Amino acid sequence: MKPMIRIVFTALLVLTMVAVAACSSNNSSSPSTSPSTGASEQPSGGKTDGEKVKLRIMTITTDENRNNIMEQFIKPNIAKEFPNLEVEFEPGGGGEDMANKMKTYNASGDMPDIFWNDAGFFTSLNQAGNIMDLTSYITEDGFLNKYKVPEALKHFDGKIYSLSSGADTYFTPVIFYHKDLFEQAGVQVPQTFDELIEASKKLKDEGIVPVVTPGKDGWGLKLFMLQQMVQTGDPEAMMKLVNNETDFNDPSVIAGVERIERLAKEGVFADGIANIDYGPAMEMFTSKKSAMLWMFTWELPNLAKIDSVDFFPFPSSSDKYDPNKVAQFWGSPLNGYAVSAKTEHPDEAVKVAEFLAMQDALYFESVGSAIALETGNTAANLSPLMEKFLNWYNAADVKIASFALNSVDARMSAELSTQGARLLTGEYPSAEFLKVINQEWEENTWFGN
């Protein structure tokens, strides 16, 4: 055969193969490559010998806690627990990466059987009917009763969509600091906002970066800083904002945003804060380049291992706020393992979701975090720092839900990130920020439907 004809022939062959692949129906011979079609041919009980039920799980893989849970708890235990399952893990990343992936799957109807749910994309999934109400399943098998506060699992529509370890009941933002660096600069733990700025200036004079927090894409600003700066001045205003009873024209809210602008302008944050990612922010603090880290308490067990680390609540900006009485409450009932409403194997999938939530709980328990899910183990010894935290947190009787997780739709959330990162540069007037955000707030659909 002439070489060219061979090439043409090959090309046509390839095209034919494509056509064949395109026209072939579901039961064509493509074993192992297509889990969803393969699985549909089996009875949903999946108890037939040899034939394993296949499930696809998308996990959140954002930080070292998550990584440890996967490597030390989920992977070693899952085969033992579910001998009849063949499980495929897909690391979802986190933040926007994960949200975009979930939205694509959601739009094209290719949902994983079990996935980490997040307030950021929940609405889309729910409207498309892709997320399952777990209430009846977990009530029947009694898993619900393992939670200390079963009510906390309910979304405001009264349904339960996600199972979590309950550790996030105890997640709240605080200010971690290095005692020795404070001493070196002759700084006391600040009690008020102005003292915080004074302390930062002294630290800066000593060549120490005062505060670091993940600022890239407005992470810290959106998740806690905005809320803290408002509620340390006026907790009531913050509570109203979370419940959609006020807006960004509220003087107390405006004052909170202005505080952030002032922090940025006074050089309280590390240079380039608006582009510092989670990992580098953690590293800056643990390597003692910065004196303070503004962070959620899910990092507390890791940070407690460093001798010099202590924490204090956000200092007050007015008499209306008492640091020992008010705390931000992270938990959103939406964060946790959820099951696709379209899964072929709902029974198995719910069991796996329960298993995953339990592994999270076991991990957080093992590192000395408080959890709200009964693991059956006796409580481990808590580190002194964790005890100090629990004493403070349990005594705080005003707990305000997280604004970022409980009040904004995807669009407003994205805009908060954008505008927030800009506010952190210190080159963006708070008035501009307020103008844009208030506009978004008016168009916020979270409470509307």
What residue has token string 């800056």? Answer: 284
Task: Determine the Cα–Cα distance for residues 380 and 445; give it in Å rounded to an integer.
Answer: 43
Enumerate residues 288-327 that contact other proteins by CB under 8 A: 289
Residue whose CB is less far from other proteins, 49 or 307: 307
Angle between helices 95-108 and 119-127 (to 10 degrees): 10
Question: Nearest approach, Cβ of 246 to other proteins (angstroms)?
Answer: 23
CB of 248 to other proteins, least distance (A): 17
Q: Which of residues 391-410 bind other proteins (CB under 8 A)?
A: 409-410
Mode of pairing for the β-strands spanning 290-296 and 326-329 = unpaired
CA distance 411 to 445: 9
Secondary structure of the chain: what % helix, strand, coil (to 5)?
50, 15, 35
Among 16, 21, 141, 429, binds other proteins (CB under 8 A): 21
Interface residue with other proteins among 157, 205, 271, 307 (CB under 8 A) is 271
Q: Which of 161, 278, 296, 363 binds other proteins (CB under 8 A)?
A: 278
Structure tokens that stand for 427 in this block: 């080159």
Nearer to other proteins, 289 or 399 (CB): 289
**Contact in structure between 113 and 56 (CB atoms under 8 Å):** yes
Positions 203 through 242 that interact with other proteins (CB under 8 A) = 209, 216-218
* Alpha carbon distance 120, 404 (integer Å): 9
Query: Which amino acid, residue 282?
Result: M
Q: How far is the CB of 407 from other proteins (least distance, A)?
A: 16
CA gap 223, 314 in Å, rounded = 14
What are the Cα distances from residue 204, in Å, to 38, 197, 291, 390? 62, 10, 10, 31
Q: Which is nearer to other proteins, 322 or 427 (CB)?
A: 427
Chain residues 119-178 in contact with other proteins, contact rule CB under 8 A: 123-124, 127-128
Q: Is 100 in the site for other proteins (CB under 8 A)?
A: yes
Site for other proteins in 75-94 (CB under 8 A): 88-91, 93-94
Query: 70, 225, 300, 357: which one contacts other proteins (CB under 8 A)?
Result: 70
> How many residues line the site for other proteins (CB under 8 A)?
80
State in angstroms the smallest separation of the CB of 3 from other proteins: 5
